[in-house]
């Protein structure tokens, strides 16, 4: 069963980023289809995307992290209204895609 999970750590504040909407997309030729959406929990994590059903076709996927409202809630000026991370999925694997976030920079990696 293939699965995509994520978490966000606000590295400027040193805490998980709670309440951030994240949308999962799959690429089809020149456009992106929405696969599922969820919001980070109090630990800054999304352990599953509800509509994902463990069935991921191989291809290019994108996580769109809607960061603008998170920064506004925390009275923080930010350069990024959202962050998009594009990656390739193969069958039968777990893909953990963390986001290390600050108001003026971010980093990501393939987690476990």
pLDDT, position 66: 98
Rounded to 5°, the CA angle 65-67-70 comes to 135
What pTM was estimated for this model as a whole?
0.93
Mean pLDDT for the stretch of residues 53-68: 88
* Tens-digit pLDDT profile for residues 29-40: 999 999 999 999
Half-sphere exposure of 60 (CA within 13 A, CB side): 9
In Å, what is the CA distance from 19 to each residue of 9, 41, 84? 12, 6, 17
Residue ranges and CATH numbers for the domains of the chain are 3-108 (2.60.40.180)
- What pLDDT band is residue 100 in, cutting at 50, 70 and 90? very high
84, pLDDT greater than 60: yes
Q: Which residue has the higher pLDDT, 67 or 89?
A: 67
């Amino acid at each position: 069963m293939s699965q995509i999970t994520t978490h966000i750590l606000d590295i400027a504040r040193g805490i998980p980023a709670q309440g951030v909407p994240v949308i999962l997309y799959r690429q089809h030729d020149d456009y992106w289809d929405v696969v599922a959406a969820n919001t980070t929990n109090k630990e800054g994590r999304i352990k599953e995307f509800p509509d994902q059903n463990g069935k991921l076709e191989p291809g290019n996927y994108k996580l769109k992290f809607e960061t603008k409202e998170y920064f506004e809630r925390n009275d923080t000026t930010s350069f990024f209204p959202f962050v998009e991370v594009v990656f390739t999925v193969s069958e039968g694997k777990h893909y953990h895609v963390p986001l290390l976030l600050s108001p003026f920079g971010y980093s990501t990696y393939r987690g476990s």
